Amino acid sequence: YPWEILKKLDEFVAKIQDHRAGKIHPTAVIEGNVYMHESASIGPHAYIEGPLWMGVDAVIGHAAYVRGCVVLAPNAKVGHSTEVKRSLFLEDAKAPHLNYVGDSVLGCKVNIGAGVNLANFNNMGTSIKIDGQATGLRKLGAMLGDEVTLGCNVATAPGTIVGARTMVYQGSMLRGVVPADSIVKMRPSLEIIRKT
């Protein structure tokens, strides 16, 4: 199951040794073990709580908050004011600005627009289910296949799976499983009532 990747992620980052070879802005705050390739960078006022692994040309931008078990593959980007918790960004995956990414996996070349939230906590306090399948997890964000594009202000419910090459229009709300090669458009859910 795709959510089993998170357990492997935990095992991988537990072995990280501190190696900060990349460029770190002097105002960034870093706690815990961080592995950085020499071409990776951490921007001004970023706050990092390791363990964190950053590959070739991976970037963490201004005022980003990265915490607990994060892996950024080559060319992955966590941008301005984005929060990332226990997540895997594969090659060229980007959360460029004002995003929340929790307990999630972003496939290769994923791009999420400004204000996208990949929610990870079930408000009911029970294990998250996906299409009736129990995951055994109370926290599980989104699993986004390769080349998925989410428009600005998209929100995903905990345990959402989006198939590869899917494009989601801005302002949409996703839950469950979205098949690969789909186009998802927001549908109006509020009826407008005019008073005379």
Contacts 24+ apart (CB under 8 A), 60-64: 61/96, 61/97
| Residue 161 in tokens | 């799976």
Nearest to 44 by CA among 95, 81, 11, 93: 81
- Interacting residues of 195 by C-beta distance below 8 A, sequence separation 6+: none
Distance from C-alpha of 188 to C-alpha of 196, rounded to nearest angstrom: 23
Amino acid making up residue 73: A
Asked if 97 is an active-site residue, the reply is yes
Residue 13 backbone dihedrals phi, psi, to 5 degrees: -70, -20
Q: Which of 19, 45, 80, 97 is catalytic?
A: 97
Cis peptide before 26 (omega within 30 of 0): no
Residues with a catalytic annotation lie at 97
